Amino acid sequence: MVGFPGEANQDHETSLRFIESLPFTYLHVFPYSARPGTPAATWSGQCNGRVLRERSQEMRTLIARKRQGFLEAQIGRVLSVLTLDEAEDDARVALSTNYLKVALPFSDLAPNTLLDVRVGRVREGILYAYRESQDG
């Protein structure tokens, strides 16, 4: 949550640095909004809408950068995946054991197949991989 009453610029910067220091690749970011009847709705130091939007965007930009870095770090790695009953652009979609979406282009694998794949690239938040050879 960003913009809780009393959150100063320094508090927001501290939150950004803290999140930067952690291995997060996903956060649900939302701006504080006053709810009638709650104690915080009457507190001083309410952030205005522009500040809330800016802080939310800064947080989302940070986590997007961290996620992209994590996805790029998967390139060349072998991941264990389970194929799903889903396809995208001639690719069977799978889910890795660390919950990353993996596309297997031109694959005719059936859903619910467990296999090892090598990640070749990342595009628009999706890993693209190919099946590891069976003979090593």
Read off the pLDDT of residues 53-74 as tens digits, 9 standing for 90 and up: 999 999 999 999 999 999 999 9
In the chain, % of residues over pLDDT 90: 90
Model confidence at 136: pLDDT above 50: no
- What average pLDDT does the structure give for the chain? 94
Model confidence at 133: pLDDT above 70: no
- pLDDT of the residue at 65: 96
Model confidence at 83: pLDDT above 60: yes
Tell me where in the chain the CATH 2.40.50.140 domain(s) lie: 78-131
Model confidence at 120: pLDDT above 80: yes
| Backbone angle region of 134, left / alpha / beta, with phi > 0 → left and psi within -120 to 50 → alpha | alpha
Say which CATH architecture domain 78-131 belongs to: Beta Barrel (2.40)
- pLDDT of the residue at 132: 76
**Residue 135 pLDDT level (bands cut at 50, 70, 90):** very low
Q: Both tokens of residue 43?
A: 């507190």
**Residue 88 pLDDT level (bands cut at 50, 70, 90):** confident
Burial of 11 (0-12, 13-18, 19+ CB in 10 A): middle
Model confidence at 134: pLDDT above 90: no
46-83 burial by CB neighbour count: b if 16+ within 10 A, else e?
A: bbeeebbebbbebbeebbeebbeebbeebeeeebebeb
